[in-house]
């Protein structure tokens, strides 16, 4: 299959695109597409999209895509990358208890799901407020090497602040800043290495 993809595409048909933002920055790959034959004809709506890894050009992934004929490849790539956001949201929901329920009625299930989604909305609101205050204050200018607060980090902070001694609050906030700084520099070196290989 790898040799088929290498023979089917010319060098100019590959586009370097990012489907989504990863923990270390943009997730860059080379992408190309081929129209598929449906019922003996090419209808311009069914596509084989091929993703090639930058580090190992022989590592390929394939996606079957249905899209209108005038859909550009970057839009298809963004749609393919959207599944990672969905999976991240499901994992965050599971961490809040989305999959931990033992109920025998629809009403019990509905109450449980509603409370979990309310907790998720509360964490999202905390992160949005944190982003707004960081951009308005001088914190981002004083310490540019810091990723934004995530819902997972906010959940960890709240759990430790509520169930720990109050004297540990400054230590926990410092620990959070340390972790976010570490993630920033990990992403920085990852992007720099990718830039050298690209």
pLDDT, tens digit, for every residue of 79-107? Answer: 988 887 788 888 888 888 888 877 788 98
Q: Phi-psi region for residue 65, left (φ > 0), alpha (ψ -120 to 50) or beta? A: beta
Three-state DSSP class for residue 37: strand
For Cα atoms 106, 112, 117, give the angle at the middle one, nearest 5 degrees.
Answer: 120
- CA dist., res. 92 & res. 99, Å (int): 11
pLDDT in tens, 17-41: 888 776 677 788 989 988 888 777 8
How high is the pLDDT of residue 198?
63
Q: What is the DSSP letter of 51?
A: E
> What is the arithmetic mean of pLDDT over 116-135?
86
Given a cut of 90, whether residue 118 has pLDDT beyond it is: yes
> What is the arithmetic mean of pLDDT over 162-170?
66
Q: What is the largest CA-CA distance in the chain?
A: 72
Q: Which residue has the tokens 């060098």?
A: 11
């Amino acid at each position: 299959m790898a040799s088929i993809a290498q023979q089917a595409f010319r060098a100019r048909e590959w586009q370097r695109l990012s489907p989504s933002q990863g923990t270390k920055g943009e997730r860059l790959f080379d992408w190309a597409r081929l129209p598929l034959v449906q019922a003996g004809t090419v209808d311009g709506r069914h596509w084989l999209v091929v993703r090639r890894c930058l580090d190992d050009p022989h590592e390929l992934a394939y996606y079957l895509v249905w899209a209108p004929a005038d859909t550009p490849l970057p839009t298809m790539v963004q749609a393919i990358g959207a599944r990672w956001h969905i999976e991240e949201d499901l994992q965050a929901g599971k961490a809040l208890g989305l999959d931990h329920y033992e109920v025998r009625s629809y009403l019990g299930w509905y109450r449980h799901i509603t409370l979990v989604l309310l907790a998720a909305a509360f964490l999202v609101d905390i992160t949005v407020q944190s982003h707004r205050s960081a951009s308005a204050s001088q914190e981002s200018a004083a310490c540019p090497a810091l990723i934004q607060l995530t819902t997972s980090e906010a959940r960890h902070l709240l759990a430790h602040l509520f169930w720990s001694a109050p004297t540990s609050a400054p230590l926990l906030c410092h620990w959070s800043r340390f972790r976010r700084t570490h993630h920033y520099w990990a992403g920085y070196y990852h992007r720099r290495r990718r830039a050298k290989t690209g």
